[in-house]
Structure 1
Amino acid sequence: MKKSRILSFLTLLIFSVQGSLAQTVTPEFLQYRNSKWVDSVMNTLNLEEKIGQLIMVAAWSNKGEKHKKEILKLVEEQKIGGLIFFQGDAASQVNLMNDYQEVSKVPLLGAIDAEWGLGMRLDNTISYPFQMALGAIQDEELIYDLGKEVARQIKLSGLHVNFAPVVDVNNNAANPVINFRSFGEDKQNVAVKSIAYMKGMQDHMVFTTAKHFPGHGDTDTDSHYALPQINHPVERLDSLELYPFKRLIEAGVGGVMVAHLNIPALDASGVPSTLSRAIITDLLKERMNFNGLIVTDAMNMKGVTNGNLPGVVDKDAILAGNDLLEFTEDVPKAISEIKNAVALKLISQAEIDEKVRKILAVKQWVGLNNYAPIKKKQVEKNINSPHAAQLYEQLVEASLTVLKNDNNVLPLKELEVLKIASVAVGAKKKTVFQKSLSLYTEVEHFQLPADADSSAIKQLQEDLKKYNLVIAGIHDDSKFPRNTMKFSDAVADFIADVSAAPNSIISFFKNPYVIDKLEGVEHASALLLTYQDSEMTQRKAAELIFGGIGAHGRLPVSIGEKFRAGEGLDVNGGIRLSYSVPEAVGMNSEVLERGIDSLMQQAMQMKATPGGQVLVAKDQKIVFFKAYGAHVYHDTTVVERTDLYDLASVTKIAATMPALMKLYDEEKFRLDQTLADHLKDFRRSNKEDIPYRDILTHQAGFQPWIPFWKEMYRNNGSLKWWTIQQDSSARYPVKIAENMYLHRNYHKKIRKAIKRSELRGKKEYVYSDFFFILAPWIVENITDQDFEKYLQREFYEPLGATTLVFNPSQSFSPADIVPTENDFFFRNKLIHGSVHDEGAILLGGISGHAGLFSNANDLAKLMQMYLNGGTYGGRRYLTQETMKEFTRTQFPENGNRRALGFDKPNLVFKGVSNNTAKGATATSFGHTGFTGTMVWMDPEHKLLYIFLSNRVSPSRENNRLSSLNTRTQVQQVLYDALLLPAEE
């Protein structure tokens, strides 16, 4: 003991030489130590009851009635001061805490280990990123916001204390217990992040404890199972391990949790720090001037229980200077031992009273002096609020760290020249990461299990030779990102080979320390670190790779000699769509989801459509994207978000208009030109002098339509012999349906019918398909290129819009294409995989007025390009001036609302019969389609809306979708969601 006291004196002397602490903020709760409420409670407690206040017992909300009775007994008989909750669920925890409070003489202090949020302990709650990931974030305000949000959730769950943050400096890569729980190895970063997290919680009335004093970061032993020894000299401990604790004490942290550690330089006796008066009283309280609440680490851990009896060890912890005992195993024995210590004058009654007053002051600070039962209603819903989800997403995005980016390969551009394969290493099925990559372009996916043998790897390597870019996701199969690796030698060699390839991207979903155990990963063209493996990190990694979001994280720990703490490259994002929550763009998710879901359910119940897809994007973030219903009525094939729909007349703005606007930019197409300038057969027709500006605004006097297919029939109902044959041939190559092949020259009859059609006498708005049927020939005449190939090369392929196609059955499985109508008057079959429009199918399925198919996600890429003023993915497709010209109303003086090819809101709102929602602004534009589709863009709100359905199933006679006004009602929900503030 004498030697220990000498060492303690030397420690104090060294600290004195090194300088004193800066101005320290007194913990706020201490103002209540001598309050009227605390005095009143103290006057009701005898010595045993006071000692009981120093004890916090472990409780679970998933252990049933027997456990509940055990806790109730401890609360009633031993008058314990608090409970620390472990596994269970929030609703059960609230109910139990209310029950326990009801029988407690003094309100109970409720605590939890929620280092990364309630999800650390409770089911169905959010787990935020681990502290190592948070250490990569460069915005401390986000860490503060996390503290604020965790405080909100803890209070909702009936508790008052978070045993967090972890302020250990993790400078030992082999640390088995701190590691990813630490903000990193840089003491300044650890301190700053810890203070931000602490203040976020304490500013919102949740008590916090900095742990694990005096620093658990540099050990390879887990104190849960043994007593770790830290052999650094005092100078090193003072300058590094103790540094974050000093800073938090200066900042006013309420509590400090003491670890179970053997630190000879601070106490040569070998006792755990939890039981060391030299460490707790001499160092923490006297030298470091901490007068807040001192809490033990769990008193059931082997690091303190080995060689120490229950109860006795609790007494020793109190004698050492601790105020609150966490996870006492034998409460009656602990109370008895501490009471005896008072009797033996090992500790004074005044010292016990001072500790009790601190605990009661904490209780008053958190509001327990005015205790009221916690509200039980919708606990989990309130905890898992939209704001909570948004914050989670923000934290993950902000933590992403790019360690390599040779030649700025990230974000990917020029998608049309890339043939991409992804490999999920450590996975046996397609991962969320791989599915998320496919949202951006065509990617072929492979999986490589962690124990794959050389033969499987050899086959994979052969398969990968067909691709010029390989994206490898390195996955972790454990719940926590441990510093371990379970890959076979062959898999590790494969990772090295992929990394050495000229064009490789590695997304590392494991603990960063593992990079040091894999040879060659650092040689990849791009190396992205996410710190942990979750659905969110996988989604965000894919978004980063394609430029939906950027990366600004910095590595919080060193990885051997490969990368040093602080390294990281900025990668700018925002060039493509990303996927987020409505609150991220100022929309109310509850209004959005409830409104759209109810309208879609109504439409399906009323048989207005069997199903559909609805997509909402704002500020280039897709914040709502759902698939509803089935492919057809009474079908088990549910609609997936990847399924293709017939776009019908949306083809006009998704095929004809991008081509014409590009040619307009290139001065190859002018609005004062006419059909006669590009189609020779229209010279000397009644349409040769009508300018395109009139034609594109539907005021050229064209007839609305011609039922071309009817011209194929005789009066007796039989087909004219030369138009259709049952078998395909060189003369009959155009497939209409099975056993229906059209003559190769029938398109000439269509052109001739349009050419010879009479004009309407008045120059007024009358919607017509005629020009758009002719448009592909006009484009081909100008470009000397096939219309479909031109669109693919100039727009769809570089956009990554791989499902935006004509004749989808040629490249997609029928299971991925939603059928349309049961055609009983022309094709006599269910139309599935080919265009619904009769005019378009007579043209081989490729036309400028109908024929395109797509899912909502790929269609959104083209529409977002429009909304961006002609840019997307880092490329300019159209000039901003052209976009403005083609999307403005051209002839309002004629009562014509139309833009050039695009539809616009009615000049005067017409109520339920309006063509758009009331909220749509005058600058908005879009189009609708006969099959039940609608696409609309609003530049003022940067808002994109896509509605895809097959309302013509089973018959086009079904007009319920229009009579219900479903499409525009859904659109109005978007504006309603904008008007209402999101709840926090």
Structure 2
Amino acid sequence: MLRNASMTRRDAVISAGALAALALAGCSQEKAPAEQSNQGVVSDVPSTEPEDTPSAEPDGALQPDPEAPVSEVDEKVASMTLEQKVAQLFIVRPEAVTGVSVQTAAGDATRTALEQMPVGGICYFAANLLDTDQTREMLSNTMRYGEEISGLPMFLCVDEEGGTVSRVGGNPGFGVDNVGDMCDVGATGDTEYAYEVAKHIGTYLEYLGFNVDFAPDADIANNPNGTMGRRSFGATADVVAPMVAAQVRGFADGGVLCSAKHFPGIGGAAGDSHDGRIYSEKTLDEIRAEELRPFEAAIEEDVPFVMVGHLSVPNITGDNDPASMSSEIVTDLLRNDLGFQGLIITDSMGMGAATDSLPAERLGVEPLKAGVDIVLMPADLQAAYQGVLDAVASGELTEERIDESVRRIVKTKFERL
């Protein structure tokens, strides 16, 4: 009976997705409102300057090539200043760049802010996303400014897992149904269903202008008192791993890059890393047997990003440092043992587990020392950015280490955006 009910729900979700795609495709292309705040209106009227012709390129820009050779990547990295390279290491909320209360449009103020801090990407939340036309224009303008300023496309990101983590699905401005919790998807045992759900999400996100979705959740919900029960596909690796692999394929076919999260697996931890440190007492052998298997499945499917969580694993690392700041987890385990060659990104460095561990000026330095490529949403962008520059100036971080991550970022942008 559960199987039949689940399949009926599957048909309803996919049917709703097809209707939503048709609705999005038919939306008018009216101008979005000026950039707004729910605490007042902020003026950031889109620029009236004519757009560049297809042949016009900013100084030093390289035309993205789907088959970009390494030499082109190296040439681009060599052309960048240290400040430009360090800025590429951050993906942040739009407000962290512009300083407005809640950003809902991208115009001259956004362009000016990106000229001062050409970050690698922006992550948007429900408050930034009012409706289809407004979102498409905001993201299109932001991408155009980023390319004109840096010669690189921007990562335009969102958390869209479905269920309790959904910024577009279920938002009344978009006419797209929420696909529901991944625990229900996992309960069907149907990997094709998981694929279709991810492809549906990727399709509507790509239409809006997003190119990165921080999903799927690869955590195993094996703690009944944990916070991941509804977000995880299930309580065992046998359930979760094939669902994660299917969703990596689905997001790719839907047109967006995706990220398996939260390495090395926070589903068994008690507590919430938004509030403070979380711990697992498991050994390396124990997590190899379960928690790592969904990430291995994602890596086998060429997942573009892996997001490292803030889980402390003292029986593996020998200390209480969160995984996002641990070279034993990031470099030794994920990069070397599991062989992941894509982009390693932290979970939000504005969470309590991060801010309780480090002062603001170290929230970029310590993850980079551990081997992370991209620092996500530090509590204070300017402090974290300056902290990295200071670490390079002092020799604590080398420019070669910065180049290593920037090269991966540029390669991904040239080949996959």
- 2:120 match: 81
Match of 2:139 among 70, 74, 97: 97
Are the aligned partners of 2:105 and 2:137 in contact in 1 as well (CA < 8 Å)?
Answer: no
The Cα of 1:233 is off from its aligned counterpart by 2.2
Specify which of 387, 392, 404 is matched with residue 342 of structure 1: 392
Distance 1:192 1:347 in 2: 38
Q: Show the counterpart of 1:58.
A: 93
In 1, the alpha carbon distance for the partners of 2:104 and 2:290 equals: 47
Evaluate the alpha carbon distance shift between residue 302 and residue 288 of structure 1 in structure 2; reply closer, same or farther with a 3 A threshold: same
Distance in 2, matches of 1:270 and 1:71, equals 39
User: Is the CA contact 1:33–1:357 (under 8 Å) kept in the aligned structure 2?
Assistant: no
The 1:170–1:193 alpha-carbon spacing in structure 2 relative to 1, beyond 3 Å, is: same
> What code does the residue aligned with 2:368 have?
I
Are 1:162 and 2:213 an aligned pair? yes
3-state DSSP of counterpart to 1:266:
helix
Alpha-carbon deviation of 1:362?
2.1
Q: Aligned-pair distance for 1:121?
A: 0.8
The answer as to 2:414 corresponding to 1:353 is: no
Match of 1:212, SS?
A: strand
For the 8 Å contact 1:249–1:290, the answer to whether it is kept is: yes
- Structure 2 residue 154 is the aligned partner of structure 1 residue 108: yes
Alpha-carbon offset, residue 250 of structure 1: 2.3
Structure 1 counterpart SS, 2:403:
helix
Partner of 2:83: 48
CA offsets 1:112-171 (integer angstroms, 9 cap, x no match): 111118981132332102110010123322221222221111111111001110010100
TM-score, normalising length: structure 2: 0.75
- What amino acid is the match of 1:116? G
- Aligned residue for 2:178, secondary structure, equals coil
Distance 2:125 2:408 in 1: 24
Query: 2:159 is aligned with what amino acid?
Result: D
Partner of 2:309: 259
Secondary structure class of the residue paired with 1:308: coil
> Is contact 1:160-1:366 (8 Å) kept?
no
Distance 2:367 2:314 in 1: 18
> In structure 2, what is the Cα distance between the partners aligned to 1:309 and 1:67?
31
How much identity, in percent, do the aligned residues show? 28
What amino acid is aligned across from residue 48 of structure 1 in structure 2?
A: E
Which letter does structure 1 place at the counterpart of 2:210?
A: L
**Equivalent of residue 373 in structure 2, options 323, 338, 349:** 323
Q: Are 1:34 and 2:70 matched, yes or no?
A: yes
Mapped pair 1:126 → 2:126? no
CA distance in 1, matches of 2:325, 2:390: 17
Asked whether the equivalents of residues 349 and 375 of structure 2 are also in contact (C-alpha less than 8 Å), the reply is yes
Matches within 5 A, 1:449-848: none
What residue in structure 2 maps to residue 140 of structure 1? 191
User: Per the alignment, do residues 298 and 215 of structure 1 end up closer, same or farther by CA in structure 2, a change over 3 Å counting?
Assistant: same
Task: Give the C-alpha shift of residue 220 in structure 1.
Answer: 2.0
TM-fit CA distance, 1:292: 1.0
Structure 1: 5+ residue runs without aligned partners?
1-28, 368-984
Shift in CA distance, 33/285, structure 1 to aligned 2, threshold 3 Å: farther
Change (3 A) 1:282 1:255: same
Alignment partner of 1:203: what SS?
Answer: helix
Q: Which residue in the other structure is 1:719 paired with?
A: none
The residue aligned with 2:226 is 175
Evaluate the alpha carbon distance shift between residue 219 and residue 291 of structure 1 in structure 2; reply closer, same or farther with a 3 A threshold: same
**How far apart, in 2, do the equivalents of 1:56 and 1:101 lie?**
14
Contact (CA 8 Å) 1:119, 1:128: kept in 2 or not?
no
What number of residue pairs does the alignment pair up? 337
Q: Is the 8 A contact 2:83 2:389 kept in 1?
A: yes
Would the aligned equivalents of 1:118 and 1:153 in 2 still touch at CA under 8 Å?
Answer: no
Q: Measure, in 1, the Cα distance between the counterparts of 2:135 and 2:179.
A: 20
Question: Under a length normalisation based on structure 1, what TM-score does the superposition of the two structures give?
Answer: 0.33
Residues of 2 paired with 1:187 and 1:167: CA distance? Answer: 9
1:738-792 deviation digits (Å, cap 9, x = unpaired): xxxxxxxxxxxxxxxxxxxxxxxxxxxxxxxxxxxxxxxxxxxxxxxxxxxxxxx
1:362–1:310 CA distance, 2 compared to 1 (3 A): same
Deviation track 1:332-369 (CA, whole Å, cap 9, x = no partner) reads 322222122223333332221121121122222333xx
Q: Distance in 2 between matches of 1:31 and 1:345?
A: 35
Letter in 2 for 1:92: Q
Structure having greater relative contact order (Cα 8 Å, sep ≥ 6): 2
Q: 1:277 to 1:193 in 2, by over 3 A?
A: same
Cα shift at 1:311: 3.0
Q: Is the 8 A contact 2:199 2:253 kept in 1?
A: yes
Q: Note the C-alpha offset of 1:314.
A: 1.4
| Deviations, residues 189-210 of structure 1 (Å, cap 9, x unaligned) | 1000000011111234411111
Aligned equivalent of 1:185, options 235, 242, 245: 235
Contact 2:234 2:240 (C-alpha < 8 Å) held by counterparts = yes
Which residue among 344, 357, 368 is the counterpart of 1:294? 344
Secondary structure of the residue that 2:358 maps to in structure 1? coil
Task: Please state how far the C-alpha of 1:65 moved relative to its aligned partner.
Answer: 6.8
Listed one character per residue, the Cα deviations across residues 859-899 of structure 1 (whole Å, up to 9, x for unaligned) are xxxxxxxxxxxxxxxxxxxxxxxxxxxxxxxxxxxxxxxxx
CA distance in structure 2 between the partners assigned to 1:40 and 1:320 by the alignment: 26
Which amino acid is 1:268 matched to? G
* SS of residue in 1 equivalent to 2:220: coil
Alpha-carbon distance in 2 for matches of 1:75, 1:117: 33
**1:225-251 deviation line (CA, Å, top 9, x unaligned):** 011110112221111111211222223
Equivalent residue, structure 1, for 2:273: 223
Partner Cα distance (1:117, 1:76) in 2: 37
Q: Following TM superposition, by how much is the alpha carbon of 1:293 offset from its aligned partner in structure 2, in angstroms?
A: 0.5
Q: Call closer, same or farther: CA 1:118–1:53 in 2, change over 3 Å.
A: farther
Q: Which has the higher helix share?
A: 2
SS in 1 for 2:183: helix
1:273 counterpart residue number = 323
Counterparts of 2:232 and 2:107, CA distance in 1: 34
Aligned equivalents of 1:117 and 1:152: distance in 2?
Answer: 17
Contact 1:93–1:157 under 8 Å retained in 2 = yes
* 1:282 matched residue in structure 2: 332
2-side partners of 1:193 and 1:327: how far apart? 28
Which amino acid counterpart does residue 76 of structure 1 have in structure 2?
E
Q: Distance in 2 between matches of 1:137 and 1:324?
A: 35
Q: CA deviation at 1:298?
A: 0.6
Residue 30 of structure 1 and its aligned partner are, at CA, apart by 11
AA aligned to 1:360 is V
| AA of the residue aligned to 1:303 | A
- Secondary structure of 2:334's aligned partner: helix
Secondary structure at the aligned position of 2:311 is classed as: coil
Structure 1 pair 63/361, CA: closer, same or farther in 2 (3 Å)?
same
Change beyond 3 A, Cα 1:220–1:282: same
Deviations 1:826-876 (A, max 9, x none): xxxxxxxxxxxxxxxxxxxxxxxxxxxxxxxxxxxxxxxxxxxxxxxxxxx
Q: 1:143 to 1:366 in 2, by over 3 A?
A: same
Which amino acid letter does the alignment assign opposite residue 56 of structure 1? I
Residue identity opposite 1:34 in structure 2: V
The match for 1:20 is none
Name the counterpart of 1:245.
295
Larger Rg, first or second structure (1 or 2): 1
Structure 2 gap segments, 5+ residues each: 1-64
